[in-house]
Amino acid sequence: MSSNTPTERKSTYHHGNLRESLLAEALAFLESESLEGLSLRTLAKRVGVSPTAVYSHFADKVELIIDVRTRGFTMLSEYLSAALAREPDASGERRVYLLGIAYMHFAQEKSNLFDTLFSWTPDFERIKPECIEAGVDSVEILREAIIDMLHENGLPATDYPASVSSLSSWSLIHGLTMLVKTGSIEGAVFCGHWSSDFSEQSPETQQRVFDHLLTIEIEGIKAAAHKLTP
């Protein structure tokens, strides 16, 4: 959460940037609180303005959350890009791996925001185009890395194999992330069905398991690339 208290933020608020202040405060709220506790009135109180002022920018909570999701998807893309920037000369294969690990780390560090991005869905007609575009950007980063990986290995990298390979990788990474977040893997370990290597209580061995899963995914994409025809 932001280090400033609501009272301190009120003193720095200036007329004309209320919408930005509200979005920033909503993101700050999600650092420690779940989406269920977020409301326009709560934001009004935290920013130090009247509820009427807030409703002049957002018709309801749904509109607020859609705009928060847009910002959140942008933050995810920036987080993934930053992970790649730390290894600017990485191969396509290495970038796919880095993106998988970064995606899981983002979900851990921004748990409530991640849930807002992927576990809350408004009526389709309410979704704004810019929210959809922001959501696609993070997947496009993965798709570009996979295209480079396919090219580097002399494999077909046309639209279909690149897209289906991206979907496969995203499905694995997102599914694994959700299994960790929901405690499903930990439950299997607790019941004795899986080795303690999978437990978050052993982060180093768990990381090795995740590395193996990503390796299986990457090697599987390369092995199947020639068979991927529409």
- Digit-coded pLDDT (tens) for 1-52: 444 544 444 434 444 688 999 999 999 999 999 999 999 999 999 999 998 8
- Digit-coded pLDDT (tens) for 135-170: 999 999 999 999 999 999 999 999 999 999 999 999
Q: Where are the domains of the chain?
A: 1-58, 68-227
Q: What is the DSSP letter of 31?
A: T
> What's the confidence (pLDDT) of residue 9?
46
Rounded distance between C-alpha atoms, residue 86 and residue 143, angstroms: 19
CATH number of 68-227: 1.10.357.10
* pTM for this prediction: 0.87
Rounded distance between C-alpha atoms, residue 28 and residue 145, angstroms: 31
Least confident of 16-20, 49-53, 97-101, 117-121: 16-20
The arithmetic mean of pLDDT across residues 66-85, rounded, is: 97
> What's the confidence (pLDDT) of residue 16?
60
Residue 57: CA atoms inside 13 Å, Cβ hemisphere, count?
22
> What's the confidence (pLDDT) of residue 111?
95
> What's the confidence (pLDDT) of residue 230?
64
On whether the 1-58 domain is CATH 2.60.60, my answer is: no
